[in-house]
Structure 1
Amino acid sequence: MTTLSDRPNTALLVIDVQNGVVTGTHERDAVVANIGTLVEKAREEEVPIVWVAHNSENLPKDSADWQYVPELPRRESEALVHKTYADSFEDTDLEQVLAAAGIGRLIVTGAQTDECIRSTIHGAFVRGYDVTLVGDAHTTEDQSEWGAPPPDKVIAHTNLYWQYHTAPGRTAAVAETKNVDFKS
């Protein structure tokens, strides 16, 4: 139901599951395993996978921390989008990558829930995409010492509000890994 015309396809978006981003995050291993399950399912169903990698002063491109976790090897044929802002669309070629593949629906996974995940799901939605957040395939670190809720509450709250998010002509949803359907 996307508002983007001639965009009938779905893509799996894997955001910032990089060594320097997910080390020490909430339920890191379970989240990475769930993303791995989705990557394999997408490959089996020939659904495009778009990998997003954050670059910054603290996460320089091509450094060990910048690399994706070893459990999630990207294939050369799969798109890699480089970003420097929280929203994966901001000042990147993500929109061009998605448009070229006729993508109007995104299945979103990755890190950090309270920064890059939230920014990207909202950024996609306002740009006309249907967006499904995979509720057990995103994570964040504990920032409670700075006044944030604990990570399990950040994740739960994001899942809660996203399943009720609405706008004309677009669909927001939350699904668990086992229930993700790339075809509907």
Structure 2
Amino acid sequence: MTTLQERPNTALLVVDVQNDVVGTAYDRDAVVANIAALVERARREEVPVVWVQHADEDMPKGSDLWRIVPELTPHEAEPLIHKNYGDSFEDTTLEKVLSGLGVGRLVVAGASTDICIRSTLHGALVRGYDTLLVADAHTTTDTSAYGSPPPEQVIAHTNLYWSHQKAPGRTAGTVAAADVELGGGADR
């Protein structure tokens, strides 16, 4: 249903599951395990897995903080997108990579819910992608000391509002990791 012409394929987009980003994240181990299971399913079903890795002055490229967590290992043939902004599309090669793979539907997992996941979801939808958030495969750290809600509420709120997103000719929604269909149709 995507508005992107001749792009019938789905990709699993794994955003910023890096040592610093998820080191103290809410429900870290369960979320990483859900992402690992999705990655393995995608590989078995020959669905592209596209990795996104953030760098900034607090998490310099090449540092241990910047590395993807040891439980997840991108295959050499899988695209790895380097970014410096919340939205994984902003000033990156992500759109070019997805276009080359014929992808018009994204299944999104990773971190941080309230920054890069939200930015990337919105960035994808406004660019024409059908965009599905895996409800139990994204997380964030506790920033309630700075006025944010607790992480479990941030995650629940993001799942709630993304399950009601829509745009002309595009679908959005949330689904549990166990219920993700990596094929063409939209999960709701």
* Both structures adopt the same fold (TM-score exceeding 0.5): yes
1:18 equivalenced with 2:18 (yes/no): yes
1:30 equivalenced with 2:30 (yes/no): yes
Runs of 4+ in 1 over 3 A off after TM superposition: none
| Aligned position for 1:167 | 167
The residue type equivalent to 2:14 in the other structure is: V
Distance 2:166 2:73 in 1: 34
Distance 1:21 1:112 in 2: 7
Distance 2:46 2:166 in 1: 29
TM-score (norm: length of structure 1): 0.99
RMSD: 0.4
Counting aligned pairs with the same residue, the percent is 62
| Aligned position for 1:56 | 56
Summarize the alignment of residues 95-106 of structure 1 with structure 2, pairs less than 5 Å apart: 95-106=95-106
Distance 1:76 1:59 in 2: 23
Q: How many residues align?
A: 184
CA shift, 1:62, in A, is 1.1
Distance 2:30 2:75 in 1: 22
1:153 equivalenced with 2:153 (yes/no): yes
> What runs of 5+ residues in structure 1 fail to find an aligned partner?
none
> What runs of 5+ residues in structure 2 fail to find an aligned partner?
none
CA shift, 1:173, in A, is 1.0
| Aligned position for 2:90 | 90
- SS of the equivalent of 2:116 reads helix
Summarize the alignment of residues 127-142 of structure 1 with structure 2, pairs less than 5 Å apart: 127-142=127-142
Distance 1:151 1:104 in 2: 30
Distance 1:35 1:3 in 2: 27
The residue type equivalent to 1:5 in the other structure is: Q
Q: Deviations over 1:100-144 (max 9, x none)?
A: 000000000000000000000000000000000000000000010
Distance 1:39 1:151 in 2: 24
Distance 2:144 2:87 in 1: 23
The residue type equivalent to 2:62 in the other structure is: D
| Aligned position for 1:72 | 72
